[in-house]
Amino acid sequence: MSNELTRVIDTITPEVFNAYMDQYSTEKSAIIQSGVAVPDERVSKMITAGGKMVTMPFWNDLNGDDEVVGDGDKELSTGKITSSSDTAAVLYRGRGWSVNEMAAVLSGSDPVRAVLNKIGNYWLRREQSILINTLNGVFSGPTAALKDHLNVTQAGIDGKAFLDTKQLLGDHADSLSLTVMHSAVYTELQKQQLIDFIPTAQADVKIPTYLGYRVVVDDALKPTAEGTYTTYLLAAGSFGRNTGTPSELTTFERERKAAAGTDNIYTRRAFVLKPYGVKWTDEAREDGYLTPTNTDLANAKNWKAVYDLKNIGIVGLQHTIGTSSAGGSGETGETGE
């Protein structure tokens, strides 16, 4: 059995692991499948080149009033197109697992294969946690980068409050395609019989939707002590998700401890997952870490909007549960610290 365990691990190389993660993420990730997170080959190349930050320059929109054309007696004036930059932090993350061959002997199954099969899902959950901490960071507090994209209601979530939130994006609201919410909020909407399910190619898998928006449920969206929740709506292409393989980073490796009959498996990744148009400022970081932690991502001081707000496809609804907001104003406002 121990020889079999070793052979299974020996078939995995960093290249195989990287390809597996790319394929698994494309097939299984809700944020990728919904179109919310999109890749940019330029960013992937910058990650592979190494370093802790990547810069994505962009052209600002054109401005100025149009002018009346003359009959040869007037010349049109010219304006300039200017550029700005959107900055992202490269996230270097890793995790290891240990498997003892006696577990395989006693269970009659192969725990190494189980670990390998579960690695992809583990990293998808970690990416989802990064996404949520980032959302908390760009929305939390009166100085938050996207405070004007937050609809605050003192009542519960319902269709009216949800649509009022969608309207914060104005004529760009049609780009919204996914909503992220706490399981208690999801259950509340189920009680209101407002959750629909769309079948996929696999007959036993159905995707939950609310008012046509794909639903992702995650309890990392914790309520405040007062019982206030924040539910987010995301547009297609609102996040960039890019991975890279710096030459000195070993993304997958194994270690055999023969005396103990144990195989250790280590995985490491370098990637970017951030909202387009909200710049990483790197202002407030936890001590002792080379690259941002989830706590850093949730800190509003580390984010600054650099796109016109209407071009940033992320809005939030701050609400309670259990009380309808029908008849409410759906006013917008700021959330406290």
Residue 17 domain-assigned (yes or no): yes
CA dihedral 337, 132, 177, 324 (to 10 degrees): -50
The reply to whether 328 falls in a domain is no
Does the structure show a pLDDT above 70 at 38?
yes
105 belongs to a structural domain = yes
What pLDDT is attached to residue 52?
92
Question: What pLDDT score does 4 carry?
Answer: 47
* Cβ contact 192:158 at 8 Å: yes
pTM, entire model: 0.81
| Domain assignment present for 130 | yes
Report if residue 73 sits inside a domain: no
Closest CA to 314 of 150, 87, 133, 121: 150
Q: Which of 42-46, 176-180, 230-234, 267-271 is predicted with the least confidence, judged by mean pLDDT?
A: 42-46
Q: How many residues does the chain have?
A: 337
> What is the number of domains present in the chain?
1
- Name the pLDDT band for 299 (thresholds 50, 70, 90): very high
Residue 26: inside a domain: yes
Torsion angle (degrees, nearest 10) of CA 81, 84, 86, 87:
150
Q: Assess whether pLDDT exceeds 50 at residue 226.
A: yes
Domain, as residue range, for 199: 2-58+85-320
CB 31 within 8 A of CB 240: no
Look at residue 179 and tell me if it is in a domain.
Answer: yes
Tens digit of pLDDT for each residue in 103-148?
555 555 555 566 667 888 899 999 999 999 999 999 988 889 999 9
Residue 67 lies in a domain: no
